[in-house]
Amino acid sequence: MEILVCVKRVPDAAENEIEVNRDGSDIERDDLVYSVNEWDNYAVEEAIRIRDKVGGSVTVVTVGDEDAEEVLRREMAMGADNGILLSDAAFAGADGRGIAAILKAAVEKGKYDLVFTGALADDGAGQVGGMLAALVDWPYASVVNSIEILDDSKIKVGREIEGGNHEINEIDLPCVLSIQTGINEPRYVGIRGIRKVASVEIPVYGAADLGLSAEAVGARVSRSDYFVPVLGAGAEILEGSMEEKIDKLIELLKAKGGLK
Amino acid sequence: MAGQVFAYIVHKNGVADDTAMELLAAAAKIDAGVPVTAVVTGAGAELDGVCNTLTASYPEVWKIDNPALAYPNAEIIRKALVNILPAGAIVLLSYDTFGMDLGPGLSIKLDSAYVADAVDFEGVDGSRLKVVRQEYSGMVSTHVLCDLSKGAVLTCRPGSFQPVDNTAAAGKVVDKSPDAGDLTVKRRYIQVVEAEKGDVDITKSDVLVSVGRGIEDQENIELAEDLAQSMGAVVSCSRPIVDAKWLEKARQVGTSGQTVKPKVYLALGISGSFQHLGGIKGAPFIVAVNKNPKAPIFQVADVGIVEDILEFIPELAEKIKGSK
Ligand SMILES: Cc1cc2nc3c(=O)[nH]c(=O)nc-3n(C[C@H](O)[C@H](O)[C@H](O)COP(=O)(O)OP(=O)(O)OC[C@H]3O[C@@H](n4cnc5c(N)ncnc54)[C@H](O)[C@@H]3O)c2cc1C
Ligand SMILES: Nc1ncnc2c1ncn2[C@@H]1O[C@H](COP(=O)(O)O)[C@@H](O)[C@H]1O
C-alpha cells in the first residue's frame, strides 16, 4: 500500500492558553508551543502499522510555511518514509477548500492507494479530508476508528457514529479516510528519533510546481476576527483558600444530593 | 439574498432528529422570512412518516425514496442531493458524525462554499453571510465571512440554535425520487456494531465524578475513584481518557459515548468541548474544577473552582471521609 497522510502544525492546546490578541486579528502567537495536530498522529501511526503489515510506504505531507517542516520530521521519526512540504506565499489565507485543492495536486503527483487526514484540527472544521476526496473523486469515510485491509482493491472500515456505536463499511481503493483518535496508540517519539531524520532531504513544492492557479486556492470563506463571547451568568467561582473552597463545595454538594 | 434554502433532515426509526427544528431556527437567523425546504432521504413507510410530520413545520418537504437509501450512507446521499439541488442552494446540515461525512464533499460537488460547526449566524451583508464559530475546543470564538454567491453548505452545531416551535406550516411533500439519478457508489454499508457494555452503567448514576485530560497520568485515576467512593458516586470521563485506555469506553460521556442524566456532575480537568457537553442532559448541578480560569467549562458549570485537580481531589476526598 502506498499511503499519504496529511498532517497539520497547530498550537498545542495542552501546552498553551489560547487567547485572543489585542486587536482581535488572531490568537496571541507570542511564545506559542506548536505540535502535530492530535488526530494526525493517530493517522500516521495507523499508516505505519498498515505498511508494516502489508508492505509499501508512508509519505507525510503538509501545507504550511518553513516552520511546518518540523512536524514532517516528527512524523518521519515516528516511522513515515517520506515527507513533502507544500509551501508558497500564494497559499497563505487559503480556506479548507483551498488546502484540499493544494493537497489534491500532491495526491496526483504520486500514486497512492490510501490517503489519510485527521478527523479534526485546531479550527474544529473536520473538512479537508471530505473535500479532498470529492476533488479527486475517490470514495470517503470520516471519523474512522478501525481499518482492515481485505485485498488490493478494497478495505473494511469502522466509522464512529453517535452513542459509541460503529458503522462498518466496505470501500474500494483508492480512497480517503479521516482518522479518529483512539484507533490506535501512537508510538512515542524521542529526541533521538528526531535527530536521526534531522538531515533527511524534504522536497518543497510551490504553486507553480503543483500547477495551481490563484483561482484554485482562492478563499470563499475567511475569518474576519477573533473574539471572546459575552456569555450568560457562567459559573459562580468559589474564592478563598483551598480549604474554604472545599468546605463551601461540600455544603453545596450536600444540598444538591451529591453526597451519600 | 442568493439561493434557495434547504435543510437536510436526519431521522431514525421513523422519527426526525431534534435538529430538524434547530435547522429551521438557523435558517431564520440567515434570513428571517426565508422559506426553508426540508430534504429527507430514506425508504418506504418510515420515510413517509417522517415527511408527513415535517410538513407541520416546513412549507415544502422534498423526499427521495429509494431502497439504497434505507441506511444513511453519506456517499449515496451526496450523489442524490447533487442531482436534485438547484445551483446556488444554501444547504443546512447538523454538525454530527453524519454531517461531517456528508458536508465537505457535498460542498465541493455543488461548487459551493462550506462552513463547519456554525454556532450562530449574524445575517447577510451583500453576498456574505456572517457566521459565528469556535476554535480550539471553544477557547476562542471567531466571525467567519462566507461568500454565498455560488451557494453554501453550512453545518450547524446541535443544541446551538433554539428550536422554533412552528406547527402551522401546512407544507406539502414533493417526491424527488425520480430525479435522484444513478446511486451506485464505492462505499458499501455493511452493519452497525453496538457499543460494548461496561462493568458499570454510568447512565444510571445520580452523581458522577468525571475526569478529563487534566488528570495527566493513568496512576491518578485512583484519586478520582477514591473521591467517588467517598461520595457514593461513579467515575466517568472524557474521551482522551478512553483513547489512552485509562478507563473503558463505557465510562465516556459525550456524543460518541454515553448520554448521562445525573443530578450532580463533577467535571475535573475537563475543558468543556461541545462533544463532551452533548452527552450531559437533564440540567444537572455541574461543578467544574480546572486550573485554567478561562476554560470553556466554566461557562456552563453552576459552580467553578480554579485549582490543580491533583491537589484538590485528594483533599476533597479526605475532608468528605472525615466529615462522615
Ligand atoms: C466526532 C468526535 C466525537 C467526539 N466525541 C467525544 C465524546 O463523546 N466525549 C468527549 O469527552 N470528547 C469527545 N470528542 C473530543 C472532544 O472534541 C475533545 O477533544 C475532548 O472532549 C477533550 O477532552 P478533555 O476536556 O478531557 O481534554 P482537554 O480539552 O485537553 O482539556 C483538559 C483540561 O484540563 C485542564 N487541566 C490540565 N491539567 C490540570 C490540572 N492539573 N488541574 C486542573 N485542570 C487541569 C486544562 O486547563 C483543560 O481545560 C469528540 C471529538 C470528535 C471529533
Ligand atoms: N495545512 C494543512 N496541511 C496538511 N493537512 C491539513 C492541513 N489542514 C488540515 N489538514 C488535514 O485535514 C485534517 C482536518 O483538518 P480540518 O479540516 O482543518 O479540521 C487534519 O487533521 C489534516 O489531516
Amino acid residing at A227: F
Q: What pLDDT was estimated at residue B167? A: 82
In the stretch 257-286 of chain B, residues with CB closer than 8 A to chain A read 257-259, 263-264, 266, 285-286
How do residues A132-184 score in pLDDT, each as one tens digit?
999 999 999 999 999 999 999 999 999 999 989 999 999 999 999 999 999 99
Nearest to B302 among A220, A224, A236 (CB): A236
**DSSP letter string, A125-192:** ---HHHHHHHHHT--EEEEEEEEEE-SSSEEEEEEE-GGG-EEEEEEESSEEEEEPTTSS-PPP--HH
Q: What is the pTM assigned to this prediction?
A: 0.97
Q: Do A235 and B298 lie within an 8 Å CB cutoff?
A: yes
How do residues B3-51 score in pLDDT, each as one tens digit?
899 999 999 999 999 999 999 999 999 998 899 999 999 999 999 999 9
In Å, how far is A130's CA from the nearest CA of chain B?
A: 5
Q: How far apart are CA B196 and CA B41, in angstroms?
A: 29
Q: Is the bond into B35 cis (omega within 30 degrees of 0)?
A: no
ipTM computed for the complex: 0.96
Q: Which ligand is nearest to the CA of A101?
A: 2
Q: Do A18 and B191 lie within an 8 Å CB cutoff?
A: no
How do residues B124-182 score in pLDDT, each as one tens digit?
999 999 999 999 989 999 999 999 999 999 999 999 999 987 788 999 999 999 999 99
Q: How far apart are CA A217 and CA A50, in angstroms?
A: 32
Mean pLDDT of chain A, nearest integer = 95
In the stretch 43-82 of chain A, residues with CB closer than 8 A to chain B read none
Q: What pLDDT was estimated at residue A31? A: 87
Q: What pLDDT was estimated at residue B2? A: 62
Label residue B288 left, alpha or beta by phi (over 0 means left) and psi (-120 to 50 means alpha): beta
Residue partners of A177: CB distance under 8 A and separation at least 6: A114, A115, A116, A117, A129, A140, A141, A142, A144, A147, A157, A171
Closest Cα to atom 16 of ligand 2: A126
